[in-house]
Chains A and B, each alone.
Chain A
Amino acid sequence: MKWFSLKKREELPTKKAWIIRGAAIVLSILCAGLVILLLGFNPLVTFGEMVKGALGSKIRLTQTMLKAIPLIVTTLGIIIAFKMKFWNIGGEGQIMMGALAASFVALNFPDMPRALLLLCMAIAAVIGGGLWAFIPAFFKAKMGTNETIFTLMLNYLAIKFVTYLQYGPWRDPGSKGFPKVADFSQNAILPNVFGLHVGWIIALVLIAIIYIFMNYTKKGYEISVVGESLDTARYAGMNIKSIIITAMLISGGLCGLTGMIQASAIEKTLTYSLSAGMGFTAIITAWLSRLNALASLFVCVAFAVLLQGGAYIQISMQIPASVADMIQGILLFFVLSSEFFLQYKVNFHFKKAKGVA
């Protein structure tokens, strides 16, 4: 006789759902604190330092936001693919290809008027990232090819190719032997608005657009239906192939745009390390946002605080950056587990079990 039983829940009231999620976050912070304690640091001080490092001054706050912007744009891209249950883990590669395309424009037309140049770069980036996502989408739609491995391998291809360019054909002869691509002209760099590059406005506008697209348009609805059940989609007469390809063009396009933002506003050139694991982090933030575009704003900012805080304690307390990675992992395990308690109700019945035995 089992001492507990499970029952699938009906729709859970929102308030209760948030209590469960909140409990998961509190538990994971406690667990992370325990790890920090075991490493010989004071957890309260460490967490305090992390918050201070991420939000404590205007400069640090800016740094945090600089991390949040590309994460939001990438997360939006991943959300669209995941809604369709298309496991796009190729965000890294799509970011790189977007950055590559934008850099191609920036390096070849450095004297174009600023607004026009930036627009062309953005368009090129969306096309670059979109094409890189189109390849696996095409094979998925036509032949049912496994997209997980496909998109992942394309990451390596994109990163290796950019490395090749940086060390080979695109290497700047003026950089005195240092293997780097030439810096962009001033016109190819995103302007600042209120002390932060204009990417923050782009991110906010995109959140609104994607939210509306997914919730209030036919195309967005079709994407969700394909994700829920292929049979339903087929029965309703939807063109599944075209839906998969369109959705992935948007998904990859958004990731590509991230590449342009990072190349233009942060690196001011093309580097092979530009994607910096964002494509993977975005998978997690997308999932934690429960694939909701509005929620992604909060999740991504919270994540950026964690990243920036983690980078700060490395300097201020000599805690290695990998500790922050581990804390991320722990946090995720707890939040993922909490999904279970949202879906199922656990009934304990010790006494009954004894009685039967």
Chain B
Amino acid sequence: MEGFLAAAVIAGTPLLFATVGELLTEKAGNLNLGVEGLMVMGAVIGFIVGYRTGSPILAFLGALAAGSAGSLIFAMLTVSLRVNQVVTGLTLTIFGQGFASFVGSSVMGAVLPYSIKEFFQVIAIPGLSSIPFIGPIFFKQDIFVYFGYLVVIVTATYLYKTKKGLNLRSVGESAASADASGIHVNWYKYIHIIIGGALCALGGAYLSLVTVPVWQENIIAGRGWIAVALVIFASWNPIKALGGAYLFGGLNILGFRLQSVGIHISQYLIDMLPYAATIVIVIISTRKNKKEDMPPADLSNPYFREER
């Protein structure tokens, strides 16, 4: 059981990065459906940089840069040029996939240098890892997983405890009122779309650098879309996103586990589980009526000051 839950945390980590990334983007009032594309860009650039340089830090930074560049395109189109966000996001996904399969063809089947594997091996946190049950699940993991916890804590603190976080939320709730109170709306949108995109790309890089760890074109396999749904599931709250991501991580690996304990259901049917669960979640979360569980009120509306 502990082994399964620890594996669920690993499987949930790429979802976690992408979910928090998309959450930040949506808090700024922009719905980026390019998560899948950003993840695959992060996965391929992270892998290539890691493979060529052998440096995990550079691989990490490479993925961040890929995600920032991809989401910068999205920001320019949707914030400055006010193009429809749904269509721009989808285009970003198509572009990202084309870009990744082109760039990635040079490292198909390549094996990462040992320095990378060594860096991302399991590190038990002294003390915490000896807590019964919880320790082996959460504190005997690799450094990427720990970074995931950090991202959640920082994001939650930022959103709910700082002035800038409050400003960001007001941009998402009503860009016009935020503007009127002197907040630089477009700056906030740009910065958070770019940080969000960089986080999505990190999620992809975790797959190509740690879990899989080879480059393959269908490496993301719809996780970007599940992340978009998880933002709804988490009702735009980073702490809830943590639980949601690990829950879905568990669903992702359930098939293998069931087979290993002798329950034989077609793999293809079990593969349907995370997607079916996402639908159930989307339906359930529509039923919410508490105010703090609602999406940012100004989500996916382009802002044009002169139109106020």
Contacts and interface: CB of A to CB of B under 8 A. Distances in A.
Interface stretch (A59-67, A184-192, A295-303, A335-343): A335-343
Interface string B96-121: 11111110010000000000000000
A349 B219 CA distance: 49
Contacts of B275: 153, 156-157, 160
B276 A153 contact: yes
A89 B97 CA distance: 17
A100 to B, nearest CB: 14
A153 to B, nearest CB: 4
B84 interface: yes
A3 to B, nearest CB: 14
Given A160-B275, A163-B268, A284-B94, A333 B73 contact: yes
Contact of A153 (B94, B225, B287, B306): B225
A201 interface: no
A132 interface: no
A332 B94 contact: yes
Contacts of B272: 156-157, 160-161
Contact of A332 (B91, B105, B269, B304): B91
Contacts of A228: none
Contact of B105 (A8, A89, A144, A320): A320
Given A149-B232, A156-B272, A163-B268, A343 B91 contact: no
B266 to A, nearest CB: 5
Interface residues of B, number: 45
Given A143-B287, A145-B286, A164 B269 contact: yes
B84 A287 contact: yes
A163 B228 CA distance: 25
Nearest to A337: B81
A81 to B, nearest CB: 12
A149 B282 contact: yes
A287 B276 CA distance: 29
Main secondary structure of the interface of A (DSSP, over half): helix
B94 A160 contact: no
A134 interface: no
A336 B229 contact: no
Contacts of A320: 101-102, 105
Interface in B257-308: 266, 268-269, 271-272, 275-276, 278-279, 282-283, 286-287, 304, 306-307
A329 B304 CA distance: 26
Interface string A275-308: 0000010011001000000000000000000000
Nearest to B280: A153
Given A153-B275, A153-B276, A326 B91 contact: no
A325 interface: yes
A340 B77 CA distance: 9
A144 B286 CA distance: 7
B90 interface: yes
Nearest to B83: A336
A145 B282 contact: yes
Contacts of A87: 86
B33 interface: yes
A260 B269 CA distance: 24
Interface in A132-180: 139, 143-146, 148-150, 152-154, 156-157, 160-161, 163-164, 167-168
B65 to A, nearest CB: 18
B152 to A, nearest CB: 22
A55 to B, nearest CB: 23
5 contacts: A6-B304, A145-B283, A149-B279, A283-B90, A329-B91
Interface of B: 33, 73, 77, 81-84, 86-88, 90-102, 105, 222, 225, 228-229, 232, 266, 268-269, 271-272, 275-276, 278-279, 282-283, 286-287, 304, 306-307
Given A143-B283, A320-B102, 15 more contacts: A87-B86, A146-B232, A148-B86, A153-B229, A156-B272, A167-B266, A280-B93, A320-B101, A325-B94, A326-B98, A329-B98, A333-B73, A336-B83, A336-B88, A344-B82
